[in-house]
Amino acid sequence: MHSVSAEKTTHPVLIFWILAGWVGFCLLPWYMLEDGLWSFEWLIDGYPFDEDYAPAAFLVGQGEKLWLAPLLIPLALPFLVLGRPKSDPLYARVLVLSGALGFGWLVAQGFGIGIRGFNYDWLKALFGDLGDRQFGMGYGAMICASAFLFLFTQGIAARGAINGDVFVVSAIGGVIAIVTAFVFFPIAKMLFAAFITEEGAYSVSVFISKFFDDRLWGLGCLAGARCGAAWNSLFLAIAVGLITTVLGLAFALVVTRSGFRHKRALRALTVLPIITPPFVIGLALILLFGLSGTITVFFAELLGVQPTRWLYGLPGVLIAQTLAFTPIAFLVLIGVVEGVSPSMEEAAQTLRANKWQTFRTVSLPLMRPGLANAFLLGFIESMADFGNPLVLGGNFDVLSTEIFFAIVGAQYDQGRAAVLAMVLLFFTLSAFYAQRVWLGKKSYTTVTGKGDAGVHPLIPTGLAIPVMIIALGWALFTAIVYAMIVYGSVVELWGVNNSLTFKHYVTAFSVRFEDEGIRWTGAAWDSFWTTIMIAAIAAPLTAAVGLVTAYLLTRQDFAGKNAFEFGTMLSFAIPGTVIGVSYILAFNVPPIEITGTGVILVISFIFRNMPVGVRAGIASMSQLDRSLDESSLTLGANSWQTFRRIILPLLRPAILAALVYSFVRAMTAISAVIFLVSANYDMATSYIIGRVENNDYGLAIAYSTTLIFVMLAAVGLLQLLVGRVQIGRRTLHGTEKSP
Amino acid sequence: MTETHLGAKAAPVRFEGVSKVFGKDVVAVDNIDLYVEAGRLVTLLGPSGCGKTTTLRMIAGLEMASSGRILIGDQDVTKLPATDRDVSMVFQSYALFPHMSVLENVMYGLTFSGYAKGEARTRALEGLDLVGLTGFDSRLPSELSGGQQQRVAVARALVLEPQVLLFDEPLSNLDAKLRRQVREDIRAIQQDLGLTVVYVTHDQEEALAVSDEIVVMRNAAIAQIGNPRELYDAPNDRFVADFIGEANLLACQITAVEGNTATIEIEGYTHSLPARGLQPGAATLAVRPSRLLIGADEGIPATVAKATYVGVRMEYTLTGGFGQVFAVHDDVDTPLDPGAEIRMAFAERGPVLLPD
């Protein structure tokens, strides 16, 4: 049977994509429908002849949009090779040609012709005025583009790339295409926007004047005035990175290397940043330290002084971000601290190092990658954080809020937003690069897979006491802050009328039961359901893209793999604010015209959260011995069957975790979302920010509390499910031994 | 028990000038030619890093040859990926799928080979029967002992009736007693079904026990090919002599060659043995520890440096003008003491001349 399959001449995958291409061209509406992807009104409203709904074939047939006609050639080409075997050189050549021609022409006409006819003056000069225009890609165009892409990858596979493995080549092609379209293209577009003058021409001087703006780089704060946003952001991010790393390390040491009893409670802290919308901490701080905050008022009365607004500005943002991001550093460092092989430390001790020397010379250096990671995360999160500076910033301008005001404020200056975003991106990418350089090529892997019977030594006493005090003090503070959030949500009007009430919950989440069913009358329901829906759509897609990428990175070798890895991980270093700005700049004009739709939100979540999915996937896939895949391959399964029947089932816990994580992240995200929401698709977080800007703190806090509990439930459910799965699958005994 | 349907479509494997280079300049396999006859068990033997596993994986299609041609039967499979080759493999780690039952594991390959579900099931059960695991079909791999897991892995590969069956150090995760048992089982199944088997190991005793033919590899190339007896009794060079069983290598002088027989001389002691084409002059003599006669009347003077009692025999380290040799002796009742002066001679058969 094997010898038959190797020489068969029907290729189901090829036939599928040829058909898909023709269906996209002849049957589906070519352009984006105004009512969105979910509306099927077009089916009864003039289809297939109405210009807005017509498939490309009908458009061309009616003599319109004639530039789509050449696509027929690459669509027809693959028929030539249907009967030929894969090993025929013509087979590969024709498919590559067809895919490249089709895809290339699609892209070229998409960028060349926009809503105002030709997009470029030289095209106009060459062909004269077009007198016609086109909108963003719809079903037809997207399916056609996919068909060309996968015809191309099949051609490449047939030429012998990756052993002729169609699935792997197609997966690589697909990931490259979407990452290019939704990460690199918008960023590039944004970079260009920085050079555009108000008249639409390109100019370097515009860029320079915006770039060297005093509001950006001013150093007035050294002389008592205000500093530029860039310096503010940089200083804040470095401070937050350092403080969260130190605090996170203290927590990790207490949990893993001290006699402290209530470790589980401390570990629970790690869940907090995942389920808390980032600006909620800022709100709670206002309740505590704001002008009418509990503690401010208490001390003002005690000391008989006027309450001050000291919180607003650097101190408030710094405290809020430290509170919000310390658990992230903890999460990173706890893995690293536990990962240091005990036998290394035991070896050091047997070599006559005392506890303190062991810690300083062995344990700490081995934790270096973890420390660098924690710092990088804190740095990037702080740079990208939008909610806390907005709520607490006062006169302390940072890049992320400045970008926001440049886009949505009265100034409406896309170029300035782009320049600011570039500076922000430059900072985060530099940090990303610096981390790589600092870690260098040294190997810090100490977990070898062999059994390690050792025990971690306790940290030296001289260190234990201060570490314990810091960690527990901070934990207590965090607990108070969270208690304030819950308490604040049931107070009538903070600082003015402290009576307890459920008024805010009623305003937000009231329902009325009527004859026709339930009426969601609360103010928050709209954004709540939108958020749930968008998050629920984005989660499985994020997990899928992340896991496929992880599979390619861990299990396949191909030329350019390092660049591929770097590209997919890059979006990790791109702050949400930058993604937000670049998306509205890139996707409000054809060929991809999706601003104001739910699709843009879904896509932004996929690429914001993809690196997490990739990392989770890589981590769990490297636990699976490669011989499992190999034995499946030698048993006659192809790589797709192996992926589906061996790898996916064994990754179920990782998949669940990726699903819930991306769901929750999509619900709490704000920095990119704030740019992308529209009247139809408002998200919970941007709705809450809106309430805060209107000083409606009660509702904002009540809504935030509800979100926290919803997500706590989601995470709890995950824990339950993953627990079950692991029991069902028993151990990997006998398959984990390394060869 | 139903009569077994499992047969074999055993095919020969041929390597023609095959090389494998990893990265830019790491040569794992260097231009080897190899022919494995259909229905034979051939072992690839060598120290770690010699390229034996890479060779095996190239037969499986898990690695692609950088140059040269690989044929299975009369089909050129050089460019064919693992999925499309009619080869199956038993992995060192067994690689049983932990989320599937034993039966599902064994059926896995059959479902991709176009068998209907019922037929696949019957064949899988037959396969389990063959390896003596009847009744274990609904267990999970984690509920089996190491030896049982091993046999499931064998059954899973067998039921596909592959043209070539590959074993990658299949015994290395088993304890010493089980190893003997399992290797005998593997050999029996191979002979009963007439399978072509390529077997990788670094254990020379295992190789001697199971093989029709042994391919000794060193530094990415083939050092010698031969049946177990040939390799043991007539190694080509010092490497093979030392790798297959232990050998004492002694410098000697060939004093005369008559026909096929050479006479050698060490410290006045002379011995006659096959010349193997060597001419008078300096040469190296390889002698197995069991072929050293201790306490002979005439021979090379030596001193007992160490004497170790290991139960079934005595092990001695002898020193003398020739250097140091290792010898074993069956007489455990009257052991020699360290320091004893003795004379050492060679057995009639066994010692072999190597080119210097």
Which pLDDT does position A576 carry in this prediction?
A: 83
End-to-end CA distance of chain B: 59
Query: Measured between beta carbons, which residues in chain B are less than 8 angstroms from residue A631?
Result: 89, 91, 95, 153, 156
Residue A239 has pLDDT above 90, yes or no: yes
Q: Contact, A15 vs A141, CB < 8 A? A: no
By residue range, what is the domain housing residue B107? 13-238
Q: What is the pTM of this model?
A: 0.79
Model confidence band, residue B8 (pLDDT cutoffs 50, 70, 90) = low
Give, in words, the CATH class of A519-729: mainly alpha
Confidence of residue A128 (pLDDT cuts 50, 70, 90): confident
Peptide bond preceding A48: is omega within 30 degrees of 0, i.e. cis? Answer: yes
- The rounded percent of chain A whose pLDDT value lies above 70 is 90
Domain's final residue, options B238, B257, B292:
B238
Last residue of one domain, picked from the residues B238, B257, B272: B238
- How does residue B228 score in pLDDT terms, banded at 50, 70 and 90? very high
Q: Which of residues 33-72 of B touch A (CB under 8 A)?
A: 60-62, 64
Structure confidence at residue A9 as a pLDDT band (50, 70, 90): low
Looking at the fold, whether B32 and B141 belong to one and the same domain comes out as yes
More confident residue, A606 or A513: A606
Sequence-separated contacts (24+) of B117-126 with Cβ below 8 Å: B123/B5, B123/B6, B123/B159, B124/B155, B124/B159, B126/B2, B126/B4, B126/B5, B126/B6, B126/B159
Mean pLDDT, chain A, rounded, equals: 80
Q: Which pLDDT score, from 0 to 100, does residue A449 have? A: 40
From chain A, pick out residues whose CB is under 8 angstroms from the CB of B113. 1-2, 636
The pLDDT of B38-53, averaged and rounded, is 92
* B148 and B296 housed in the same domain: no
**Which among A325, A331, A335 is positioned nearest to A244, based on CA atoms?**
A325
A451 band by pLDDT with thresholds 50, 70 and 90: very low
A447, with CB counted inside 10 A (0-12, 13-18, 19+), is exposed
Q: Do A735 and B93 touch (CB under 8 A)?
A: yes
- Which CATH number covers residue B36? 3.40.50.300
Best of B66, B76, B83 to disrupt the A interface (most A CBs within 10 Å) is B83
User: What interhelical angle do A166-179 and A525-555 show, nearest 10?
Assistant: 130
From the list B60, B64, B94, the residue facing A634 with the nearest CB is B60
With 50 as the cut, is the pLDDT of residue A726 above it? no
Q: Answer with the residue of higher pLDDT: A343 or A400.
A: A400
Q: Summarize the confidence of residues B158-183 as an average pLDDT.
A: 88
Specify whether B39 is located in the same domain as B87: yes
Handedness of CA B185, B190, B191, B193 (dihedral sign): positive
Q: Is A497 on the interface with B (CB under 8 A)?
A: no
Q: Based on the fold, state whether residues B337 and B205 are members of the same structural domain.
A: no
Q: Would you state the structure tokens that stand for residue B320, as one six-digit string?
A: 């003398």
Q: Among A50-54, A75-79, B46-50, B214-218, name the most confident range.
A: B214-218
- Measuring CA to CA, how many Å separate A657 from each of A328, A588, A716? 16, 33, 11
Quote the pLDDT of residue A339.
Answer: 72
What residues in B contact A735, CB-CB < 8 Å?
93-96, 98, 141
Which chain B positions have a beta carbon within 8 Å of A737's beta carbon? 93, 173
Band (pLDDT 50/70/90 cuts) for residue A1 is: very low
- The answer to whether the CB atoms of A6 and B113 lie below 8 A apart is no
Which of residues A140 and B216 earns the better pLDDT score? B216
Does residue B217 sit in the same domain as residue B140? yes
The question of ipTM being above 0.90 is answered as no
Asked if the structure places residue B233 within a domain, the reply is yes
pLDDT at A455: 65
Looking at the structure, tell me whether residues B85 and B152 fall in a common domain: yes
Final residue in a domain of this structure, among B212, B238, B264: B238
B250 shares a domain with B234: no
pLDDT grade for B31, boundaries at 50, 70 and 90: very high
The residues of chain A that CATH labels 1.10.3720.10 are 236-488, 519-729
8 A C-beta contact, residue A194 and residue A210? yes
Q: B-chain residues within 8 Å CB-CB of A646?
A: 97
Q: Write the CATH number for B275.
A: 2.40.50.140
Instruction: Please name the residues between 607 and 626 in chain A that touch chain B, using a CB distance below 8 Å.
Output: 625
Task: Select the more confidently predicted residue: A459 or A726.
Answer: A459
Which pLDDT value is given to residue B173? 82
Q: Is B5 part of any domain?
A: no
What is the interface size between A and B, counted as CB pairs within 8 Å?
Answer: 118
pLDDT bin (cut points 50, 70, 90) of residue A7 is very low
Q: Does residue B172 fall inside a structural domain?
A: yes
One domain, residues B206 and B78: yes
- Are residues B310 and B175 part of one domain? no
Q: Which of A634, A732, A734 sits opposite B88 (nearest CB)?
A: A634
| Contact partners, residue A215, CB within 8 Å, separation at least 6 | A228, A229, A397, A402
Are B105 and B147 members of one domain? yes
DSSP-assigned states of every residue in A196-258: B-TTS-B-HHHHHHHHT-HHHH-BGGGGTSPBPHHHHHHHHHHHHHHHHHHHHHHHHHHHHHS
Pair A377, A486: CB distance under 8 Å: no
The C-alpha of B285 sits at a distance from chain A's nearest C-alpha, in angstroms, of: 37
- The answer to whether B81 faces chain A, any CB pair under 8 Å, is yes
Cβ contact A113:A78 at 8 Å: no
Whether B112 and A627 lie within 8 Å, measured CB to CB:
no
Q: How many domains does chain B have?
A: 2
Count the neighbouring beta carbons within 10 Å of the beta carbon of residue B90.
26
**Same-domain check for residues B167 and B107:** yes
More confident: B16 or A215: B16
**Under CATH, which architecture does the A236-488 domain have?**
Orthogonal Bundle (1.10)
Q: Are residues B233 and B268 in the same domain?
A: no
Candidate from B64, B98, B109 with C-beta closest to A636: B109
Judged against a pLDDT cut of 90, whether residue A615 lies above it is answered with no
Q: How far is B222 from chain A (nearest CA, A)?
A: 23
